[in-house]
A and B are shown apart, each in its own frame.
Chain A
Amino acid sequence: MSKALKDIEVDCLLEAIHQHYGYDFHNYAKASLKRRIQGFVSKTGHQQVSELVPKVLHDREFFGDFLHCMSVTVTEMFRDPAMFKELRENVIPTLKTYSRINIWHAGCATGEEVYSMAILLHEEGLLEQARIYATDLNHRSLATAQAAIYPAERMKLYSQNYLNAGGKQAFTDYYWENYDSAKINDFLRHKVTFASHNLCCDQNFAEMHLILCRNVLIYFDKNLQERVLDLFTKGLVPRGFLALGEKETLKFSSSQQQFDSLNDTLKIYRKKRHV
């Protein structure tokens, strides 16, 4: 099949979804999006992308499957341990000066990093003052995040990450293992609010002291990256913190001038006092 034809089909599909369901994928980075769409075509036993159009329009459940497939990412607890160590050492001490803090995990996926953050706050004595908002557009990922049950086989890696991130206790204190599952302890969940939120079109909902949005911008094109960074700039308190993924940066963005860089390598930024 010629490339141009496939692109036309992808455009048709995205337009149909946007008009009918309101989900706008037009400003997603195309290479990975097309790969996911192609994967979904094969998985559901279809030949062409255009065959998906009537299915997603008339079958809401099928669209649910599609939506889930479009936003499956795989993360870890304490992914990039150095980043969590930096939060512990150079961000948490500042957050402790507030009586209450709001933290937003934008694009929290299946929640591994949310609970990593909760553990960090707990060990630093800050969990009770905190409210963590964990949002994603993928409802099934949110359900997994809320259930807080992960494959037990992953715990060995997470435990290593936890130690590298400067963990102070035994990592096994934070979950129950049952057969091949590990369930995160309830006390880490009670300060977390899970909600559906779409960075393409939804607005801010509270003033944040720290926003974590890691490995989400990589899926957006430059226009959408700008929109989201502007949203975060407005959503942070003066001197609030923004943590991006290891390969994401404010460089080349118009939001750069509103932030100081706290750690260039680990992509942690701090909003200026006067913006």
Chain B
Amino acid sequence: MYDAIVIGVSKGGLQALKTVLGVLPVDFPTPVIIVQHQGEAELGTLATLLNKDLAIELKEADLNENIVGGHVYLSCPGYHLLVEQDKTLALSTDPPLNYSRPSIDVLFESAAEVYQDKLIGIILTGASADGSLGLATIKQYGGLALVQDPSTAEAARMPQAAIEAATIDHVLSLHDIGKFILRICYDNQ
């Protein structure tokens, strides 16, 4: 029933992503696309760090890459990440949005147009309001919105802003978000 999952995360992202993605098996059927705000200097290192602890393969997004299950695609510092109509990944060096490039809103809004009601959008810990509008767009297209419980977040601002901007389906702890997507994506196969 769900064809893709998009995740937006900022401050505190490494631990949060480890917890959420850590429960996913290597052949998890639903592709996961992530925008993580990070500094230019960290290029490549986050993917390396995460891959040590994950069963499923995580990679930096490549231009024109097909989006397929069994993969987690991570944004690249300095580039917006978008989804094309033919379900491939696109990049841009358009101006930053919400002081961020990559911006979560850019990914979420482009993914919502493509996957419509077959998309799950998730906002995790972070110290900006990026992603709120994108999550609202996902809801407009009939997708599912999950947000990390701000009281459990390393930085509460981003999940809090998302809760204020959109109608959220579930507010959960990191651990429960992992369990939830695992269950919903297998139940719906």
Contacts and interface: CB of A to CB of B under 8 A. Distances in A.
B80 interface: yes
A35 B95 contact: no
Given A222-B64, A252-B64, A31 B84 contact: yes
A36 B94 contact: yes
A239 interface: no
A258 to B, nearest CB: 20
B116 interface: yes
B92 A219 contact: yes
Contacts of B84: 29-31
B93 A31 contact: no
The number of chain A residues touching the other chain, given as a range, is 20 to 34
Contact of A74 (B64, B90, B93, B113): B93
B25 interface: no
Contact of B80 (A32, A34, A72): A32
B82 A247 contact: no
B109 interface: yes
A72 B95 contact: yes
Contact of B110 (A35, A72, A222): A35
A74 B96 contact: yes
Nearest to B89: A31
Interface of B is mostly: loop
Contacts of A50: none
A73 interface: yes
B110 A74 contact: no
A181 to B, nearest CB: 19
Interface in B133-149: 141
Contacts of B109: 35
Interface string B36-65: 000000000000000000000000001110
The number of chain B residues touching the other chain, given as a range, is 20 to 34
Given A30-B85, A35-B106, A247 B76 contact: yes
Interface in B82-110: 82-85, 90-96, 101, 106, 109-110
Contact of A3 (B64, B80, B113): B113
Nearest to A38: B109
A207 interface: no
Contact of A248 (B63, B78, B101, B116): B63
Contacts of B93: 73-75, 215, 218, 245
B28 interface: no
A215 B78 CA distance: 11
B116 A218 contact: no
Interface in B107-162: 109-110, 113, 116, 141
Nearest to B62: A247
A199 to B, nearest CB: 16
Nearest to A32: B92
Given A3-B116, A222-B64, A31 B95 contact: no
Given A35-B92, A74-B96, A218-B90, 12 more contacts: A3-B113, A29-B92, A31-B90, A31-B113, A34-B110, A34-B113, A35-B94, A35-B110, A72-B95, A218-B79, A218-B92, A247-B76
7 contacts: A31-B90, A32-B82, A34-B113, A35-B82, A35-B110, A74-B95, A217-B63
Interface of A: 3, 29-32, 34-36, 72-75, 215, 217-219, 222, 245-249, 252
Interface of B: 62-64, 76, 78-80, 82-85, 90-96, 101, 106, 109-110, 113, 116, 141
